[in-house]
Structure 1
Amino acid sequence: MLVAMGALAHQTVLVPPLAATMAIVTATPDSPLAQPRHVIGGHMLSCLVCFAVLALGWHGPWAAAVACGVACGLVLVLKAAHPPAMATAVMIMLTSPPADRFVPLLAAGAVLLVVVQMVSARLQRGVYPTSWW
C-alpha cells in the first residue's frame, strides 16, 4: 500500500523511511518507538523541521545534516523519538519534494501504518497501541 501511495503521488522517496517504520511497528509493537505518538509525531516533526530549513534556502548534504540533527533534538525533547523519521528528514533535504503533496502523503502513510497495526493486533487478540501519549 505504501509503494502504491508513493507511486501514485510520484513520491517514492517516502517508501524507505515508512518501510523502516513498518518493521518497528510490526516486529516490536510494544516498543515505545512503535507507539502512535512516536510514529506519527516523529515523522511529522522531522518533516516540519526540514521544510523550515528548505524555506530558509538551505539545500544539500550539509543542510540535510543540520536538519536531521535539529529534528533529532526536537523529537527527543518532545518525547516523540522515532529513528526512521531521521531518514525522512534526510530524504526531504536531499530531494526537496513539494510540501503540498509530500506532507499529506507522509501523514497518511504514518497513520495508515498505525491503523493497520491496530487492526492486526485486534485480529490476533493483542494490544496496540500500548499508549497513545
Structure 2
Amino acid sequence: MTSFISKIKIDKPVEQVYLFLEDCNNHEKLQPENIYNWTSTRDEAHFTIQNMAKLSLVVKERIANQSIEFVPSGNAPFDLFLKWMLSRDTDGSSNVILELSADLNMMMKMMASGPLQKLVDYQTAKLAEVL
C-alpha cells in the first residue's frame, strides 16, 4: 500500500471537526472540481473522478472525536482506504491528519501519486477553510 498523508491544525474544537467529518454529506464541500456526480448519505458517498473512475466509499468505522475510516463499496479500480484522524492540541484546537492508502501497481503509482497527494492536501486545506 502506498500512503498519501496531509496534516493541518484547525482552530476549532475536535468535537466540531468530528461532527462535520462523520457525515458523508459534508464531504462534498471538500472536493476539487474534478470530482462530480456527487450523491451521498450520512454513511456513503458516490462520485466520479474526471477521466479516471466512478467510486463509492462507505464509512467502515467511526471513533467519536478521534477518527473516521472509509473503504470502497462495490468495485474500485484498486484497493484503498481513507482515514481522518483527529486529536486535541494543548490550546484547544484540532490536529487533523488525512491518510489515503492505495494498493497501486508501479504504473499506477507513477501516474497517480502526484494527483492523490494533491487531493489529500486540497481536502485538508478545504476543511480548514469550510470550518
Q: Give the TM-score taking structure 2 as reference length.
A: 0.28
Relative to its length, the structure with more helix (as a share) is 1
Relative to its length, the structure with more strand (as a share) is 2
